[in-house]
Chain A
Amino acid sequence: MASITIKDMSVSYNKGKSFVLDNLSLDIKNGEFCVFLGPSGCGKSTAMHCIAGLLHPMSGEIRFGEEVMTSANRKGRDKTFVPPQERNIAMVFQEYALYPNMTVRENMSFALKTKKVAKEEIAKRVDYMAKMLSIEQLMDRRPAELSGGQRQRVALGRALVRDPQVFLLDEPLGNLDAKLRDQVRYELKKIQEQLGITTIYVTHDQTEAMTMADHIVLLKDGHIMQQGTPEEMYDHPANEFVAGFLGTPQINIFFCEVKGNILDAGSFKLNIPEHLRTCLVPYAGKKINLGIRPSDLELAKDKMDVIKGHVESIEPLGDAYLIYVRVGEQIVVFKYTGEHAPKEKELLLTPNMAKLHLFDALTEKRINR
């Protein structure tokens, strides 16, 4: 088990003309479950491959604990580079990458045999992990004879059996159906907590990130947009991108103007609450973006701070309803948790004033703390 420190790491595929990762710096604590989250092409898998030693960064440093694994100068020359086979890491790929010519038992034993671990020890560890993942009855089968979920468990088992110091998971649930994904997600988190192995998990699915992570690193275009606990990032997104990326359905964004103590969105006006007034002083007369999460809207009880809208459609979720409301030219999503969906076509909504998110219209950075 080890902490991971990344310092000023840059990766370029075209000799520095453009960067896939640009000066990435990051600390992952020992035993932490860290999720690299972001849209396709943001550099999350690249960062993981650098940590695994499958890619050489152009510059920067990667340490496992105190031990330097990769250190490269700006010219892309490695000062130190520990090859992947010597890093004592385990990795699970989205494609599972099970060896087709080997049985499940052989797949799980392969890395230990390479390390020349004693046969009895290999059998003991493999049997323990097989029991833990409920795959004991599959041990003599080949990967082609397994279902997607079974393959995924074998891939996990193969990685965990090694007792690695770092555990890397590159979108491992991407090929599973929704039900199985939920189940494996729970099991994976449970096993990680039991074993306490420092884990990095790459995904573009914000639900996976929110439910599993101790620490989320949200990336965009090779830069860290924000990092922190899931609660911190959800409740206090550092910018509009983070606010939009985390949470389903997506946050509603309104373009507003600060007019005295009023936020004027054109189609509605809100009184600026006391706790937001100080931070909005520099924005007097200027435009800002107001973010309200669908779950932070409710049906108005009085005429104060209301958003009037016309119901366009209603999606029942079982335990709640997603109501799409037209407010001016904009469609606003409202998550209603009442027992029956409202029958009125015109709704008066009011936001939870304690949970408003204000962003600078130009920089898209968060204004309120």
Chain B
Amino acid sequence: MIGKSVIRKEAWDKVTGRAKYTHDKLQQGMLHAHLVTSPYAHALIHEIHFEKALSVPGVRAVVTGKGLPLTGEDLRDRPPIAFDKVRYHGEVVAIVVADTPIQAEKGANLVQIVYEPLPTVGSPRAALQADAPLIHENLGSYEKNDHTYPEPNTNIAHRTKIRKGNMEKGWSESEVVIETSVAFSPSDHLAMETRCATAEIFPDGRIEITASTQSPFMIKKLISTYFGEDVGKVVVHTPLVGGGYGGKAPVQLELLAYLASKAVRGRKVSVWNTREQDMITSPVHIGMEATVKLGCTKDGMIKAAEILFLFDGGAYSDKAIDVTRAAAVDCTGPYRIENVWCDSLCIYTNHPYASPFRSFGHCEQAFAIERAMDILAEKLGMDKLELRLKNAILPGHTTPTRVLLNRSNVGNLPACIKRLRELIQWDQWQRIELNARTVRAKGVSCSWKTSTIDTEASSGAIVTFNPDGSVNLMSGVVEIGTGSKTVLAQILAGKLKMDIDDIHVKMDIDTQSTPEHWKTVASRGTFMGGRAVLNAAEDAIRQLKAIAACVLRSPIEDLEVGYGKVFVRDDPAIFIPIKDIAYGYKYPNGNAIGGQIIGRGNYTLRHLTPLDKETGAGKPGPEWTVCAHAVEIEFDKRDCTYQILKAVSVVDVGEVLNWKAAIGQIIGAMSMGLSFASRETFLFDRYERVLNPQIRTYQPIRFGEHPEYIADFIKTPQIDAPYGARGAGEHGLIGIPAALANALSIAAGVPLNKLPLFPEQIWRAQKGK
């Protein structure tokens, strides 16, 4: 069962159009909302007039931000609807609720708002200038949690500090030093299903929300926290989700749906993003500017790293704070560096606000570090993989936050590098001129990642039995496309020694009946959800054995469960079918014992701690997955265009639970990384308005532009994880942007430190423009 390419449970629903997503669930009488959004990136709101909107037939209410509480997960800086001021282009200013979407849109077009534009802040470095406009004047008075450190009277929402070793010593031991800077603007997740939510409030105060989200349980919690509703009265439903990639981890439209429903006396209201709104009104992929300084000995042993990450968190901090903290946690990349200084800043700008993006701060961090590693190798005159191998992180080393690594909690990077070297035939050639115009080059990178979720985050699972001995599996992990629900079923089938077809998976989440899984993020579904499922299975096994012990007149310890039976271990001919005890056992005379078998389990990662404010010391996650990546390109020297020929990732996943699903996760993530690095960015005008919030102008990779993909695995088990499997949902992406930039830098003969790598960008770098 483990390792098999089991077809995902919801596969046939998805190829027949029967799979239902949030916005597919239309209902008679449901009202529709249209969001009125800001045309300015930074402006005061002087007046809002919505009388004309209310006069449109079918319009039932207009909701504005007056009197609403501030929201935000770490720092409460964001009004759910802007009221006195807008801080980004696309920010919600009002909601128009009507009988039909068209009436709502008509109404929205008639809402008149008088703005007074303000000077804008267009980049993290600009935000740090002494004379930069302040985006949040009241930063010092916002509510926050204990581990968030805003700097009042600046545009800094949070700063994470890593202080490890002795920098003076590190620099004095360094014979070769390089410094480099990188940058990229915010971009988008572009999930094919735009974000959407419905809300309905019942007379008894029950709030029913349906949302396309990675965080149904967080919605429940936050609606309670923000609006003072009883947490038990908030019920969140999440059907299948049409792509998340981190973009559906934050809570935004759900709050608007709740407010809109409240405005129409609890009637059901649907809020659905148009593509344009989804790209800029809802949270985006974070931008970054960074500077990395590395020092090493003449033979390439890295002695010191000084790293400054300036993240473009956009107008509100929400999840961006956590993303910037995660980048700091793994700031050095997967290398042993004793002396580390890192400041990772979450900075306010007048850009759309940021959310997690697949890899959670890591493809960003890796882009900076891996460009620096290539530049260091060039200065040393050393082979680029050799430099990485020489400094590879190993058991016995410590991470930037001083976690001591062992053979379980970190994967085997040297083995990844070795395999990569073979797969890309590194030793045969690294750059070749095919003719006067065309050059081929290979770029490499390494990466690592741990999770940085809340230390008390837990996952739960319930298994119930049917009269035929088959099992129902309920887990709070959301099926966002990664196939996690099917992998959990495989884990359960393995434990109960059952046929996977006899495991029925509850796909939809209902926070009232599905046990909580904190959030479906951080590649933690299999680890935490899997441990919870194993515990639930143990619980069910105990119950099955207890009944069987009576019926079979055997000590519990002598019994085994599997193959649809409970049997005596030294004489399997003595058994009882599970179906005969799944609902308890009925003796021939009618007496009965037991009842339906209901196994329950939960799991919380152990021994996690928050980071120390001054040094960053702390244990953020249970394990580090390590990877090595390569990208091969063909570059046209005349016009700076290029083709991506091949992309390779070798990931130490610990164990592969579902082969094809695992390959799909890795190469799907690689594709996203290549698309981001080669062509995805928001283009801003000088007023920081987004010029390209449409797929035809934003231009992700399309069919036919994809290169050859190779994914391969190393298997160093994480002994706490189910079957030793490490997180893998994000890791194929992490080093890919850097590997592409490294390949193109080698081909073009000039350091390429800005993303995306449009041919024009390469031409500019060559011309020094």
Are A and B subunits of one complex?
Answer: no
